[in-house]
Amino acid sequence: MVSRRVFTAGVAASIAGSAFLGKTTAAGAAAPYGGPNVVIVRFGGGVRRAETISEDTAYAPYLRHRLRQRGLLIPDMRIAQLDGVETSHAEGTINILTGRYLSYRDRNSGALEDRLEPTRPTLFEYFQAAFAMAPHEALLINGEDRPQEEYLVTGSPGHKGAVIRSEMLSLHRFKLHKNSRILAEGTAGEEALARARAELDQLTALRPEDAPAAQSPEIERFWDTWRADYGDTGLVNPRGDRLLTELAVRAMRQLRPRLMMVNYQDTDYVHWGNASHYTRAIAIIDQGLERLVETADSDPFYRGNTVFVVVPDCGRDANSLMDVPFQHHFNSRSAHEIWALFAGPGIVKGKVLDKSIDQSAVAATVAAAMGFTAHEAEGDAIAEAFT
């Protein structure tokens, strides 16, 4: 493990400064993007192979029996067991986006515990630096119960993430939009205006100083449409991971993202002590995944031109001696054992890879599929994924 870290650190140092060269036209402007769309599905909250891809015990029938026939299944993907590498959700997400371990810093602001952010380029940054893209064409969709991850798309001072980033769709961002609109309209009663001001101040206080104060005009229009359909109460729109599916589908129809990551998470509710929270959440994610693929298949913009990448943020234990047997915070071997699935144009179909692959290879493989290089990723692109 140590020798690998030393080697990859040396490689990273040798390419420092070249991460954002990008592709340019003869006139020097960034070239338009002509490659496939990519949807990364974080099968999140920490899941075991047994309940997701096992032939006999999986609660994800669409993933296990249908989608895998359209691509490459990697049943033995692993998160490297290195000093300081944790098996958790924000860490796993940054691993996927950067192709590196420990490529983040803690920006704890009290209300957001374990608030991490990348300190190396993410796939969103590589993508937008390499091609002429509007901000809303790179999207990250986040769950309402993971506020720690709201600003994963914004890098630390001096890092490109502060300028070149993805846009975020989440209830957190909708509430910022909604309360700003309520105050601007000024037609609500005094109590409603006071509540809107208090909530807006509370949410704004969580924003890093170097984060943009507003989202792009396209995203603001997206939220206007969402508000017109679901109102202000929060009692009408879907919740949990069903919310993420709805946001993602509407984004595909209204915003046309070329690179999108959906951070499913509800399997983590198993910490409440009921195993059915975990298995039911796997089924809900599986249903959401099916809907995303069906949306792509039915839309000429995405049909035949979209690669789906499905990968967990981390694994999970099954310790019968614990009050809550499904855990992932003990850094055990099983918490490092995950899997991945790649499906779409240019990807081999109906193949199961019979060797172990490191999670850091995901970023490099996505970059290769989209036609750019994740220069600072530690992993290599998975050659067996491509036709």
CA torsion through residues 348, 350, 351, 352, sign:
positive
Residues 110 and 355: their CA atoms lie apart, in Å, by 42
CA atoms within 13 A on the CB side of 258: 20
Distance CA 222, CA 330 (A): 40
Per the structure, the complete domain to which residue 163 belongs is given by: 37-385
| 47: nearest Cα among 241, 258, 323, 290 | 241
Q: Whose CA is closest to 141, among 48, 216, 235, 242?
A: 242
d(CA 166, CA 138): 5
Q: Is residue 137 part of a domain?
A: yes
Strands (E), 79-179: 104-106, 116-118, 138-141, 167-169
Evaluate whether 127 touches 368 at the Cβ level (below 8 Å): no
d(CA 124, CA 372) in angstroms, rounded, equals 11
In a domain, 16, yes or no: no
Q: Token pair for residue 35?
A: 């490659």
Is 177 part of a structural domain of the chain? yes
Q: In sequence order, which residues have a C-beta less than 8 Å from that of residue 224 and are 6 or more positions away?
A: 177, 181
| CA distance to 53, 75, 118, 203, 373, per residue, from 72 (Å) | 13, 10, 28, 41, 21
Residue 246 lies in a domain: yes
pLDDT computed for residue 20 by the predictor: 38
Alpha-carbon distance of 217 to 254, in angstroms, equals: 13
Give the per-residue pLDDT at 152.
Answer: 65
CA distance 131 to 299: 23
Predicted local distance difference test score (pLDDT) of residue 163: 44
Start-to-end CA distance of the chain, whole Å, equals 31
The pLDDT of residue 108 is 58
Give me the pLDDT at residue 161, please.
43
Q: Which residues of the chain have pLDDT under 50?
A: 1-27, 109-112, 155-156, 159-164
Q: Which two tokens stand for residue 114?
A: 């374990």
Q: Please, are residues 132 and 30 in contact by the beta-carbon 8 Å criterion? A: yes
Q: Any idea which residue has 């140590």 for tokens?
A: 2
Per-residue HEC secondary structure of 31-93 comes to ECCCCCEEEEEECCCCCCCCCCCCCCCCCCHHHHHHHHHHEEEEEEEECCCCCCCCCCHHHHH
Number of domains in the chain: 1
Q: Is residue 281 part of a domain?
A: yes
Residue 34: the pLDDT is 92
SS3 347: strand
Residue 51 covered by a domain: yes
> Is 3 within a domain?
no
User: What CATH number corresponds to the domain at position 264?
Assistant: 3.40.720.10
